[in-house]
Amino acid sequence: SSTTKVWNFGAGPAAIPAEVLAKAQAEFLDFNNTGMSVLEISHRSKTFDNLLKKTKNDLRQLLNIPENYKILFMQGGGHTQFSAVVYNLVAAKRAKTGDYSWNPPVDYVITGSWSAKSVAEAKRLYANVNIAADAKVSGGGKFGSIPPRGEWKLSGPDAAYVYYCDNETINGVEFPYIPDIDPSVPLVCDMSSNILSRKFDVSKFGVIYAGAQKNVGPAGVTIVIVREDLLVDQPKTVAEHSAGSSGMLMTVPSMLDYKIMADTDSLYNTPPVFAVYMAGLVFDYLIARGGVQEIEKVNGQKAKLLYDYIDQSKIYQSHIDPKVRSRMNVPFRINPPELEAQFLAGAEALRMYQLKGHRSVGGLRASIYNAMTLEGVTALIDYMKAFEKKHSA
């Protein structure tokens, strides 16, 4: 947080603005003159209902979400959505055609570890998974690029959906555009690590989801934005489910069912009240600062400063295609790599934390989400310069 002058470059759970934490602290014991903590009020109370409504309306305003989209607050993080997407959208496709024994293809574009993991989950649950493009294959064994749209092998209008991850948190690859696909096929997007960082057209999507613990707030709540026509009733028993007999994807478990969540206003069971409350405080904070379009400008400046410095440096290197570099997660290496441990130790001495790269890729990574200020990025670059000077003599 900026009050204690710790610069938290962690990928998630990530920094939360100090003002937001202070507000939560100030009203922790007595929420809205209830005499109770927000942790203690019933999720069926008028007080929580107001909180939920305001939080949704604020998100709708921030992202300009059209009326024909529902906002759901779900649990289980991004990983749970890897499964929920398959169940819900295959069911929606079957409902559309009335053919409940059909196993429509589902298309995936792999651009990094998270979309790859989502594919692995889809394959656990469902047999007709099509890899439309794989950046690791086209990139000669390494992530760091996005296969050109023209090379994707999509299934066409039969597909239940086309899936991609907008920002690959581990690999530092971010889509600079929304892929153009057959408009009759729902586009599904994992925006866990870049939602609310820039403006985008929600109406291009069937489903958008994001775990909260990067740009929104605490882990425990996952935002799901779903177009209403994709909400369908599912068979209530396995016996009614003709596809069940073929061993292919039966009725979705209730907690993962988008329609049940929409029908119950995300109150099917006890929601993660504190996480929803904290997300609401972050939305207040963003609105007070001019909304997504203003934070987008700062995010652009921060990323440009850091990449420009890395590109002209003699010891730091980015291995990501410059056209698709993430504005949120900046992986980089030091040449020689033996210096990386020293770099991290020196950073910690200056209270710059969590700059180590993900264990699966190594190296270094600066996550510079909404809560990281321009001042923090400048402090990091100053340190990088001093370190370079010391080690290139």
Q: Which residues bind ligand PLP (CB under 6 A)?
A: 12, 77-79, 114, 165, 169, 190, 192-193, 211
CB of 29 to ligand PLP, least distance (A): 29
3-state secondary structure of 57: helix
Cα separation, 283 vs 221, in Å, equals 14
Whichever of 212 and 339 has its CB closer to ligand PLP, that residue is 212
Cβ neighbours of residue 154 closer than 8 Å, sequence gap 6 or more: 107, 130, 132, 162, 181, 182, 185
CB of 82 to ligand PLP, least distance (A): 8
User: CA nearest 161: which of 222, 223, 119, 199?
Assistant: 119
Tokens 């309306």 belong to 57
* Amino acid residing at 306: L
The CA R_g of the chain, rounded to the nearest whole Å, is 22
Q: Give the DSSP letter string of 209-240.
A: EEESTTTTSSTT-EEEEEEGGG-----SSGGG
3-state secondary structure of 2: coil
Tokens 């056209």 belong to 323
Whichever of 110 and 384 has its CB closer to ligand PLP, that residue is 110
* Amino acid residing at 325: R
Angle between helices 113-125 and 77-97 (to 10 degrees): 50
Q: Are 365 and 330 in contact (CB under 8 A)?
A: yes
CB of 13 to ligand PLP, least distance (A): 9
Beta bridge partners of 57: none
Whichever of 190 and 296 has its CB closer to ligand PLP, that residue is 190
Cβ neighbours of residue 186 closer than 8 Å, sequence gap 6 or more: 89, 92, 160, 161, 162, 205, 206, 207, 227, 230
User: CA nearest 74: which of 217, 234, 266?
Assistant: 266
Tokens of 110: 């792999």
Cα separation, 270 vs 110, in Å, equals 34
What is the torsional sign of CA 383, 384, 385, 388? Answer: positive
Backbone angles phi, psi at 226, to 5 degrees: -130, 135
Whichever of 104 and 331 has its CB closer to ligand PLP, that residue is 331
Q: Are 334 and 340 in contact (CB under 8 A)?
A: yes
For the annotated catalytic residues, the residue numbers are 114, 190, 214
Q: Are 195 and 349 in contact (CB under 8 A)?
A: no
